[in-house]
Structure 1
Amino acid sequence: GTTDMIDELAVTPLSEMRPFSWAESVIQGAPIFVGRTGYTGEDGFEMFVQGDDVVKVWSVLTASGAAPCGLGARDVLRLEAGLPLHGHEIDEQTTPIEAGLDRFVRTDKEFVGSDVLKSHQESGVQRKLVGFTLPGRSAPRAGYTLSHGGEAVGAVTSGSYSPTLDTSIGMGYVLGRYVESGTALDLDIRGRTVPVTVTELPFYTRPRRP
């Protein structure tokens, strides 16, 4: 696995790093700054190296079994993990309460926007971020309309076919009365109506290390 490979390559063991921690080490004589971080929902490491060492470190990693992947693969993984992406699920027009990020909000102090967040916590919000599934491999795209009984009730923010779950998944904002898991909605895919089912996030959680 990734942790075994990193331990074999680095001069110091890195597999025991705690999530979101950072360390310095060396691979093949190249200094590296390593984070036990990432935005895929999977276990892994992020590395920062000097520009002159990039090709050497990359070559060592791939020769040891690391497989290159693109942005699309990363985006599918973060979607399966239910992680919001700026410009899609979160932006300047969205509050953390709407996005389901309440656990990161403290309203016991005053700050810019704290009155709005307090109001959302006390009175609720008109819309909330939800996950949904649909049969087959049709990929819901950002901006597609979600409806109920012929009435538009929300819109997709992200969507893709999920190889892990072998079905299509998506996230989007819908009106508050349609956020319960199991709620049936309709998705407009280029004029074709497809049934979707609201589901809890995340769609998938990787097994934790023993």
Structure 2
Amino acid sequence: MLKTPLNEFHRQHGGRMVNFAGWEMPVVFTGILEEHQYTRQHWTMFDVSHMGRVEFRGPGAAALLQKLVTRNVDKLAVGQCGYSHICREDGGILDDLIVSRYDDYFLVVCNASNREKLLGWFDRQRAGFDVQIKDRTFETAMVALQGPDTFDALAKLLPISLEGLKRYHFRCGTVMGVEASIARSGYTGEEGVEITMPANLAMMAVNVLFERAEQMGRPLKPAGLGARDTLRLEAAMPLYGHELTEDWDPITAGQTWCVDLTKNFIGQPALKRIAEEGPKRQIVGFEVSGPRIARQGYPVLAEGRPVGFVTSGVQAPSVQKNIAMGMVDAAHAAPGTTVEIDLRGTKTEAKIVPLPFYKRPAKK
């Protein structure tokens, strides 16, 4: 298995390690519920170094990315990042990713499970473009600091000012002697940042950050993949392999907002047709009756007939409800619709509800 630069840190802090997309990653430290709540109430650190980081340089970099991704990258200013999808010709989703525009290059952050697939896809699509593509995954580390304490704490801990930093924008500078970029982004539904730094300095930087946070009276705690999943699901953020796959398109997945149909890109004709005709299926949210969790793949029924399936489910700590997301036929996708979910032979009532399930409280 591959290891992130923070593997030893996780072991020192009691992380229970598992194989995730070929990487040895911490699924939990002290407990999923505790880590979930601490993120919602204070701040935690997630190691996201396993995610792919691929650099596009050269005169043709922007043009190639315009061809590859659903978002209009020409509209990204330097210091701005944008969530996007990358699709096959038929609109099937190869991955969801973040594209960031630096002074003289672009950085694409993709899912760990899709990195090698995408590197091959990039190579096949680059003909005719003056571009250099470099996989920087193993040269860098990436951590997500998430929770309502993040910005107040970092204002006292970092020499880089985050004042006025807008969501999905980033700044570069030196943090504790380490060259880093800090983006206002995340995957929890909370305020937070994602910091990218050189791999060989990550362990030192993280240890110093934890020590100084403790000394300041704003303890930072590590969190694992388990809490990351419950947090993202409450916020209705899609997970590749669950709400996003090659089997359907961004519009069906409810991600039309990251698709610019006015530009040409791979899959645009197919997506334009789906948008004009309306998707036949949709990703929706469920509130599920009873305590049993609706797992991925469980059938969704209407009047005893299959109309869809569950993509993700969890007992949601922040909203105190049994929630799930899933794909259903468009005729059954309206909020308020009552369906049943087949929980391994037991049919349980569920109601389709608007997404997200959780929104962070407004600042007072």
What is the TM-score normalised by the length of structure 1? 0.91
Aligned to 2:357: 203
Displacement after TM superposition at 1:183 (Å): 0.7
1:70 is aligned, of 221, 224, 247, to 224
Of all paired residues, the percent bearing the same amino acid is: 36
Whether contact under 8 Å (1:136, 1:167) holds in the other structure is no
Supply the AA of the counterpart residue of 1:107.
L
2:323 is aligned, of 158, 169, 176, to 169
Supply the AA of the counterpart residue of 2:221.
A
Alignment of 1:47-66 (within 5 A): 47-63=195-211, 64=213, 65-66=219-220
Q: Which runs of 5+ in 2 are unaligned?
A: 1-148, 214-218
Q: Which runs of 5+ in 1 are unaligned?
A: none
Aligned to 1:2: 150
Aligned residues: 210
Displacement after TM superposition at 1:109 (Å): 4.2
Aligned to 2:309: 155
Confirm whether residue 17 of structure 1 aligns to residue 165 of structure 2: yes
Aligned to 1:83: 237
SS of the residue aligned with 1:39?
A: coil
Deviation per residue, 1:157-201 (Å, 9 max, x gap):
111111001111111100111101111111111222111110011
Whether contact under 8 Å (1:146, 1:188) holds in the other structure is yes
Deviation per residue, 1:122-174 (Å, 9 max, x gap):
22222111001113442211101110111111001111111001111111100
Q: Which has the higher strand share?
A: 2
Aligned to 1:41: 189
Whether contact under 8 Å (1:128, 1:179) holds in the other structure is yes
Confirm whether residue 107 of structure 1 aligns to residue 255 of structure 2: no
Displacement after TM superposition at 1:80 (Å): 1.0
CA distance in 1 between counterparts of 2:265 and 2:330 reads 26
- Cα 1:49–1:102 shift into 2, 3 Å: closer
SS of the residue aligned with 1:89?
A: coil
SS of the residue aligned with 1:197?
A: strand
Displacement after TM superposition at 1:19 (Å): 0.9
Whether contact under 8 Å (2:160, 2:175) holds in the other structure is no
**Higher relative contact order at CA 8 Å, sep ≥6: structure 1 or structure 2?**
2
Supply the AA of the counterpart residue of 2:267.
G
- Cα 1:107–1:25 shift into 2, 3 Å: closer
CA distance in 2 between counterparts of 1:56 and 1:110 reads 44
Displacement after TM superposition at 1:111 (Å): 4.0
Displacement after TM superposition at 1:209 (Å): 4.1
Displacement after TM superposition at 1:106 (Å): 3.0
